[in-house]
Chain A
Amino acid sequence: MGWRIGVDIGGTFIDFCALEESSGRMHTLKVLTTPEEPGREVLEGVALLQERHGLDPASVTAFVHGTTVGINTVIQRKGAPLALVTNAGFEDVVELARLRMPEMYSLFCARPEQLIPRDRIFGVGGRILSDGSEAEPLDEEAVRQAAAKARAAGAEGIVVSFLHAYRNPAHEQAAKAVLRAAAPDLFVFCAAEIWPVIREYERTTTGILNGYVHPRVDRYLGSLEQALAARGVRATPMITKSNGGIMRAGLGRTACVSMLLSGTASGVMGAAFLARKAGVARALTLDIGGTSADVALILDGEPQFGTGELIGEFPLHVPSVSVSSIGDGGGSIATVDGFGMLKVGPESAGSTPGPACYGRGGEHATITDAMAVCGLLGHVPLAYASVAMDRAKAAAVVGRLAAQLGRSLEETGEAIVDVAISSMFAEVNKLVARYGVDLRDFTLLPFGGAGPMLGCLLARELGIGRVMIPRRPGVVSALGGLVADAKNDVVRTLFLDLEPANLPALRRALSELRAEGERWLREDQRFAGPAAIRLTADMRYRGQSFEIEAPLDPAWIEDGDLPALLGAFHRRHDAIYDFHDAEAAVQVVNLRLVVIGATDPPELPEEPRVEGGPIPERMVRAWLDGAWREVPLFLRSSLHHGHAFHGPAIVAQEDSTACIPGGFAASVDAQGNLHLTAEG
């Protein structure tokens, strides 16, 4: 028995979740991030765990880390100067992208500055066709010239992406060999090696993201591995992946795109784990921090997956846990316009300077300041005492808006929260409509520093009757790493009609994918336990130009059971689009396989049930639902299994504060989760 440590780096804090396996005890910790020296805070945290909880580094059996180093490299544009080698005639593939731009009503809509400018994109002769045949041999001399030009332009690495390389990678591989020989000092990635799937822009931009973050991610993970080893941690460090799984940190040094969303994904994985443990099958997770507010759907205990998540301004096309942004978090700034309308966001005070009440130079009224003037925040030290709440500053900035609105301070605070909630409501509604789900049988699962603060209010607006606040809302992402499985996605683009003649091709693809998955799990990940696979296919009716993913049983392909394969697609189509067409021809565009090496989920000890009611720390004055009320303030540490009470109430703990309005009944379960149920 030893220790399992999960670590998650956010914008402001780095969270630790350390599980002592012998006792099942969980220790949590928050340390301020050190952006100028990424990785140092990890060691600081380990040192603190040693100091406070007697951790022996040698006894660490698992060290799982979620990091934002990759995504920050993109957002801050601090990646490597790259060159792209692609087909002549198609050099604008990244600039044109899919044409459509987000702000469709603005004459000033513009594309982001590309990660590779056009003058470092080199078209070369050579062409593979859609069936994989070669129409024109690769112009190797042009590739050599591209290498010279790339180096002259200051590129540190080269991404190679050719049309139809998902079908036949020969030209990409040949070009890579030429580049390696011509420019051994430059690193080279082939787009079809990273994610070999049809659609040139999506594949190319994913390859570019990988190359762009590679040097920084490589250095970061390299030094982290060394530092941990130097501290005496013998366990192989793992990192969390965008797909909700984990892999050896060493793999992340080249498979960079698969960890770009590691933090958001592991938050959802952690929440899904807690939901399953609590017997909640359908949940809407709500992760609110200082600078972001994200939701994700858990259906049948499982998160949803998709591609096309945005990394900065660029879509990432490897399978990732689906998360939707619904706002900018507690730091969103409120303003009043010329008509007297109160707006919240899109400007945000971010993590620096942050809300005015944090006293770090914030000059604008944020949602957090609004909660503070209503007396809902600041009754206990915030964020493990790293933030001092200055309510006078909140009153000053909210007061300015109050004067404009002609309302009292607390009315204005409530108004800010109401407007923010209604805008989140509108965003969640899009997600609901897209998935065609009915939220009334869902549980809202808020986490992150500010999730519990706004969760009940949003649940009320959405008509969700149940809310579950985890015991430690601030470290759900760090926990997610501890419960995640080793997991990898592999894919083959087939693009064939689902008919008897194509069964051999399907079988071949399946066996190749199995072998590839097995190789990753055993050789790359060095996982020795039992393996599981999940097979899906991206399918569509002929003539459609988008695919939906349907789960398949490998036996259907092995046994040639076409009706079962077709049925799986029709069912899925029906579930998503409310209709299916049994007569239409069905195409399999991609066959996909997920290989999984399961991690034993930690046993969270159950707390014995206590009798009697919880004892409030004290009564506090809070403005809720249009009036000042004396409400009980509970400390989370003194709420135990079996405790029950009614809102209005405030529950404070070191990493977050939960606001429970009237009309909610609260109870604590054996894992320490706080369950809130709308009454009446």
Chain B
Amino acid sequence: MDKVTLQVFANHARAAAENMAYTLYRTAHSTFVKETEDFTVQILEPGGTVAAVPMDFGATWYPGIDYSAAIGMIGDYEPGDIGFTNDPYSGYLATHVPDLHMWKPIFEDGEILAWACGHIHNTDMGGAVPASLSRSLTEVHQEGIRFPPMKMVRRGEVNEEALRVMLLNVRKPEQNLGDLKAFTGALNTGERKLRAMVRKFGVDGFRAGLAGVLDYAEHQAREVLRSIPDGEYSFSDYCDEDGPDGNPVRLALRLVIKGDEAVLDFTGTDPQLTSALNVPTGSHPRHTLLLVGVFYVLYTLNPQILLNAGLTRPFTCIVPEGTALNPRFPAAVGMRSLTCARLRSLIFGTFGLAIPERMPAAPAGSSSIMNVMTTDNRTQRSVLAAINPIVGGGGGMPTRDGTNGSGADSAYLKNTPVEITETEVPIRILRYGLMPDTGGAGRWRGGLATALDFTVFAPNSRVTARNRDRCRFRPWGILGGKAGAPSDFVLNPGTAREKVLGNIDLVTMDPGDVLHIHSPGGGGRGDPLAREPARVLLDVKRGYVSAAAAQRDYGVVLRDGAVDEAGTEALRAALRAACPANGAHFDFGPEREAHERVWTAEGYAAMTEIMTALPTHWRFFVKTRLFAMLKDPAADSAAAVRHAFGRLREDYPGLAA
């Protein structure tokens, strides 16, 4: 297909995808789908990979999603069929149980020319807990009812039996049903639009167009890769906890760039977890969840990029089985969002090693969703409501500060107005704003964290804060920039009843209790002592940075609301002398440094080796024991790990087998 027609085709394909997305959004019943836009739609080429997605709607994760395995699990398709699944382990399409994926073949003369498809996140799919999601769940069976790929609609007739089973097992059947209808409607819209495209471009033209847009995206991705120096770049990042009160989860990546291709080797990532933080990717060399961070990088480096599976072609992922990024059945996966955020920062950090001049420091990397359940004292009615996503700032950019309070990979989230929350929920918000001194110091400062303080009026009010992370391991700074501040969660701060909650995600409040939460801040970029004093002064005037921090972190002395030039010069010289630049690419903050004094790269390598040889069901147990045994730095940390494992083998004969 000639390139002019291909551009016209690409616009029509995007229009078809956007039409589906708007239709789904418009007709969806659940507030969840409407508010969070937690849905996606795609147009697939006949083989089941993505050819087009909407640009400004829905979630950002699935331009590279691969339906082929799930499609193949149903045999004979006929016109009017719609396939569906929500099982994370059937074809690795759905990535947790609440996500229901559906796909509809577009036939022409008995042949499938394309697929219209997408997913919606159902508020609840049954299982052990309301909303089906909790990090404490240990196997996928607890996370709700699962359907392997099967037909939801057969030749236009709804599969009532499957539907009845679903509706029987979920907590809000009317919402699931309403959203399912809307979804079906959207797929039918997609089919109409795709048929119109077949008429416009002809059958052959349509085929060539789908192939062409994938080739075009591939070309764009390769062009970006060619602009990145060949080499091997290794990095690791951590989730704070592998479960309640748990140990860190380490994600590791070795990125190898050669010409216009890249290999992402995740070997060295922690073993799969006995909590719901696993990310199911099924050993797929280009699983979309592994590449979400890559999509961000590509788009950031070339905003003209076409988002489809063509982008994934130059990339190959290696993820050993039985790890947190490729768990074996029946590992629980419900809270994979938390790990996915870390996976993205892992990828941003690794690409940053390759192209430091073009990448930002770490974004906050934790988007906690707050829900409160309390009682209205006047009506005595129990009220459950989502308050706000607590999102952090972006990382310092090459030529500007990180975005405050949002940005980078959480730019799609929306908040709820304070006035709406206070009208609907009997709580009082005392503060909602930016948290000073949370952005990592740097030539370009990290974006500030968001803080929220509120109080309740009824006893036994329960607050959940899902996806909390980065309480311990901070968003890293780069090129001399400092790490951003960690997040925090405190009951009754500054009082005798103060209680630091850390990563606890459920807290009970009594009348008058005040709960404070703030997100992490973005990492800083470049030497803070090189930041123009005037800019630091402005930060102080704007309340983004305290005068004390201006002096401590930036070496800027302020006097009577102005920069003391001489004092600043002297202080900066002293700071430089006291702490000469060490040339390190990253600044991680004291917590990670302390952790890595005990758990060095060598120590982790030794553990990875041990884990690889172990059966999956032993791995998490052994990791937990090793962490309990190894609390102090060792001269030879690899030997210490091996020694500890030797002792475990003595204690647990089953390990030897």
**B149 CB within 8 Å of chain A:** no
Chain A contacts with B in 76-115, Cβ cutoff 8 A = 89-93, 95-96, 98-111
Residues of B contacting A98 in the complex (Cβ-Cβ under 8 angstroms): 414-415, 417
Residues of A contacting B23 in the complex (Cβ-Cβ under 8 angstroms): 433, 436
CB distance from B630 to the nearest CB of A (A): 36
**B409 CB within 8 Å of chain A:** yes
CB distance from A103 to the nearest CB of B (A): 7
**B238 CB within 8 Å of chain A:** no
Is there an interface contact between B543 and A91, defined as CB atoms closer than 8 Å?
Answer: yes
Task: Report which of A104, A544, A578 forms a contact with B34, defined as CB distance below 8 A.
Answer: A544
CB distance from B402 to the nearest CB of A (A): 9
Is there an interface contact between A579 and B27, defined as CB atoms closer than 8 Å?
Answer: yes
Complex: A130 Cα to B389 Cα, angstroms: 21
Residue in chain B with minimal CB distance to A152: B561
Residues of B contacting A199 in the complex (Cβ-Cβ under 8 angstroms): 417, 419-420
**A119 CB within 8 Å of chain B:** yes
Residues of A contacting B397 in the complex (Cβ-Cβ under 8 angstroms): 107-108, 110
Identify which of B34, B223, B408 gathers the most chain A CB atoms within 10 Å of its CB.
Answer: B408
Identify which of B19, B60, B182 gathers the most chain A CB atoms within 10 Å of its CB.
Answer: B19
Residue in chain B with minimal CB distance to A430: B18
Is there an interface contact between B419 and A110, defined as CB atoms closer than 8 Å?
Answer: no
**A484 CB within 8 Å of chain B:** no
How many residues on B have C-beta within 8 angstroms of the other chain's C-beta atoms? Answer: 82
Chain B contacts with A in 294-316, Cβ cutoff 8 A = 295-297, 299-300, 303-304, 307
Residues of B contacting A104 in the complex (Cβ-Cβ under 8 angstroms): 56, 60, 411-412
Task: Report which of B15, B182, B544 forms a contact with A118, defined as CB distance below 8 A.
Answer: B544
Is there an interface contact between B18 and A433, defined as CB atoms closer than 8 Å?
Answer: yes
**A426 CB within 8 Å of chain B:** yes
Is there an interface contact between A434 and B422, defined as CB atoms closer than 8 Å?
Answer: no
**B428 CB within 8 Å of chain A:** yes
**B592 CB within 8 Å of chain A:** no
Residue in chain A with minimal CB distance to B344: A107
Is there an interface contact between B419 and A95, defined as CB atoms closer than 8 Å?
Answer: no
Identify which of B407, B416, B453 gathers the most chain A CB atoms within 10 Å of its CB.
Answer: B407
Is there an interface contact between A89 and B4, defined as CB atoms closer than 8 Å?
Answer: no
Residues of A contacting B196 in the complex (Cβ-Cβ under 8 angstroms): 463
**B504 CB within 8 Å of chain A:** no
Is there an interface contact between A342 and B4, defined as CB atoms closer than 8 Å?
Answer: yes
B-binding segment of A237-245, A415-423, A444-452: A415-423
**A338 CB within 8 Å of chain B:** yes
**B573 CB within 8 Å of chain A:** no
Is there an interface contact between A105 and B4, defined as CB atoms closer than 8 Å?
Answer: no
**A425 CB within 8 Å of chain B:** yes
Contact with A along B334-367 (1 / 0, CB 8 A): 0000000000000010000000000110010000
Is there an interface contact between A107 and B296, defined as CB atoms closer than 8 Å?
Answer: yes
A338-B223, A433-B22 known; A92 and B411 CB under 8 Å? no
Identify which of A90, A415, A433 gathers the most chain B CB atoms within 10 Å of its CB.
Answer: A433
Identify which of B295, B409, B411, B416 gathers the most chain A CB atoms within 10 Å of its CB.
Answer: B411
Chain B contacts with A in 203-252, Cβ cutoff 8 A = 216, 219-220, 223
A-binding segment of B431-439, B475-483, B581-589: B431-439
Is there an interface contact between A422 and B295, defined as CB atoms closer than 8 Å?
Answer: no
Residue in chain B with minimal CB distance to A407: B4
Is there an interface contact between A90 and B432, defined as CB atoms closer than 8 Å?
Answer: yes
Residue in chain A with minimal CB distance to B412: A104
**A432 CB within 8 Å of chain B:** yes
Is there an interface contact between B3 and A105, defined as CB atoms closer than 8 Å?
Answer: no
CB distance from B39 to the nearest CB of A (A): 14
Complex: A95 Cα to B220 Cα, angstroms: 34
Residues of B contacting A166 in the complex (Cβ-Cβ under 8 angstroms): 419
Task: Report which of A105, A110, A340, A545 forms a contact with B307, defined as CB distance below 8 A.
Answer: A105
Complex: A432 Cα to B26 Cα, angstroms: 11
A100-B411, A340-B3 known; A119 and B542 CB under 8 Å? yes
Residues of A contacting B389 in the complex (Cβ-Cβ under 8 angstroms): 99
Is there an interface contact between B413 and A95, defined as CB atoms closer than 8 Å?
Answer: no
Contact with B along A530-571 (1 / 0, CB 8 A): 000000000000011110000000000000000000000000
CB distance from A364 to the nearest CB of B (A): 17
Is there an interface contact between A418 and B417, defined as CB atoms closer than 8 Å?
Answer: no
Task: Report which of B6, B411, B420 forms a contact with A109, defined as CB distance below 8 A.
Answer: B411
A96-B433, A419-B4 known; A118 and B542 CB under 8 Å? yes
Residues of B contacting A106 in the complex (Cβ-Cβ under 8 angstroms): 296, 299-300, 303, 411
Chain A contacts with B in 321-337, Cβ cutoff 8 A = 337
Is there an interface contact between B419 and A163, defined as CB atoms closer than 8 Å?
Answer: yes
Complex: A135 Cα to B423 Cα, angstroms: 14
Identify which of A99, A100, A164, A546 gathers the most chain B CB atoms within 10 Å of its CB.
Answer: A99
**A341 CB within 8 Å of chain B:** yes
Residues of A contacting B432 in the complex (Cβ-Cβ under 8 angstroms): 89-90, 92, 96
Is there an interface contact between B419 and A105, defined as CB atoms closer than 8 Å?
Answer: no
Is there an interface contact between A405 and B3, defined as CB atoms closer than 8 Å?
Answer: yes
Complex: A101 Cα to B402 Cα, angstroms: 14
Task: Report which of B27, B216, B391, B434 forms a contact with A341, defined as CB distance below 8 A.
Answer: B216
**A576 CB within 8 Å of chain B:** yes
**A495 CB within 8 Å of chain B:** yes
Residue in chain A with minimal CB distance to B181: A579
A98-B414, A101-B403, A339-B216 known; A130 and B422 CB under 8 Å? yes
Is there an interface contact between A119 and B417, defined as CB atoms closer than 8 Å?
Answer: no
Closest 9 CB pairs of A and B: A433-B22, A92-B433, A89-B431, A118-B542, A426-B15, A422-B11, A119-B541, A105-B299, A422-B8
For the A-B complex with A96-B406, A338-B223, A341-B7 known, give 5 more contacts whose Cβ atoms are closer than 8 Å. A96-B433, A101-B411, A110-B394, A200-B417, A422-B12
Q: 21 A-B contacts, Cβ less than 8 Å apart? A: A89-B433, A100-B412, A106-B411, A107-B363, A107-B394, A107-B408, A129-B428, A200-B417, A339-B220, A342-B4, A407-B4, A415-B4, A418-B4, A422-B11, A423-B11, A430-B22, A433-B18, A436-B23, A544-B34, A577-B27, A579-B178
Q: Which residues of A contact B (CB under 8 A)?
A: 89-93, 95-96, 98-111, 117-119, 129-130, 135, 163-164, 166, 198-202, 337-343, 405, 407, 415, 418-419, 422-423, 425-426, 429-430, 432-434, 436, 463, 495, 543-546, 576-579
